């Protein structure tokens, strides 16, 4: 049984109740994996839930490594015993299509530094889920040529802007970290550079910027439609598998988490 809790994080929890931390970057991702009912308070967008005696604290951190790092540290400061990152990503492996799922065995940055993650047991033997590394960069990878170069250099299946920050915070705190990404734009897709100016740091649409951009380049509308189709497929995939991941986090507990330390 699941119950939403309205209290601000930091409220007293029942003795022995484990707190599980979940983090997403975008509002669309948040709705896909945790539904509605999010609260905006003291500069943070969060949601608390109680499921089968386990307390969950969800946070929308916003876009980019700095916000992800700050959000992960905040969850840990609230007492989170584990972290789990959900979201969409760009595809680097040319075999992956929009909506395919990637569970991180490790994450790496542009300097080749690698950080271990906890691999969900169910993912190791599940068809349709790809296990591998995820690359984190400070900016989106826009074109097929750049994606191909990143794939050859790092061997990562997908690329995002938050995973390393979350994994590093968990590692420093000695907590397990699970990362699930759904491919949004496959490796062959070219993304419109001006589209990324249309959202703010919290992932909200800048309506004024959109209108000005469409006046300058009407073709942007077709690009946005294509990107939205990919985004919708990725969100549906996340929403389909998120309950299984959440159940696995609940059942494993921090003492049973299996870290992939062979990286």
Q: Domain 2-256, what architecture?
A: 3-Layer(aba) Sandwich (3.40)
Task: Note the helical H segments in 104-175.
Answer: 144-154, 163-173
Rounded to the nearest integer, the mean pLDDT of the chain is: 86
Residue from 165, 182, 164 nearest 87 by CA: 182
Q: Which helix (H) or strand (E) holds 178?
A: strand 177-183
| Predicted pLDDT at 122 | 58
Look at residue 1 in the predicted model and tell me its pLDDT. 45
Q: Angle 144-146-152 (CA atoms, 0-180°, nearest 5)?
A: 100
Structure tokens that stand for 84 in this block:
């789990």
List all residues 6 or more positions away from 31 whose beta carbon is below 8 Å from its beta carbon: none
Mean pLDDT of 192-199: 80
Give the per-residue pLDDT at 224: 86
Read off the pLDDT of residues 158-194 as tens digits, 9 standing for 90 and up: 999 999 999 999 999 999 999 999 999 999 999 888 8
Calculate ∠ Cα 64-236-82, nearest 5°: 50
Q: Provide the token pair at 155.
A: 């061997």
| Domain boundaries defined on the chain | 2-256
């Amino acid at each position: 049984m699941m119950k939403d809790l309205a209290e601000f994080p930091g409220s007293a929890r029942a003795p022995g109740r484990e707190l599980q931390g979940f983090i997403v970057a975008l509002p669309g991702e948040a709705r896909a994996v945790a539904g509605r009912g999010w609260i905006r308070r003291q500069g943070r967008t969060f949601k608390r839930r109680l499921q089968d005696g386990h307390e969950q604290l969800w946070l929308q951190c916003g876009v980019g490594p700095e916000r992800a790092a700050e959000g992960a540290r905040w969850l840990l400061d609230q007492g989170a015993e584990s972290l789990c990152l959900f979201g969409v990503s760009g595809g680097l492996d040319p075999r992956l299509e929009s909506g395919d799922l990637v569970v991180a065995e490790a994450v790496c940055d542009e300097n080749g530094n690698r950080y271990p993650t906890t691999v969900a047991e169910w993912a190791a033997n599940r068809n349709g889920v790809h296990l591998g590394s995820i690359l984190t960069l400070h900016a989106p990878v826009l074109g097929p040529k750049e994606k191909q170069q990143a794939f050859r250099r790092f061997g990562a299946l997908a690329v995002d802007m938050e995973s390393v920050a979350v994994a590093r915070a968990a590692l420093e705190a000695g907590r397990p970290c699970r990362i699930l990404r759904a491919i949004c734009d496959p490796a062959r897709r070219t993304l419109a550079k001006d589209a990324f100016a249309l959202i703010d740091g919290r992932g909200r649409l800048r309506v004024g910027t959109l209108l000005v951009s469409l006046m300058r380049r009407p073709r942007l509308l077709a690009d946005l439609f294509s990107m939205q189709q990919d985004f919708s497929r990725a969100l549906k995939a996340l929403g389909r598998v998120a309950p299984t991941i959440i159940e696995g986090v609940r059942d494993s507990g921090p003492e049973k988490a299996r870290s992939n330390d062979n990286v």
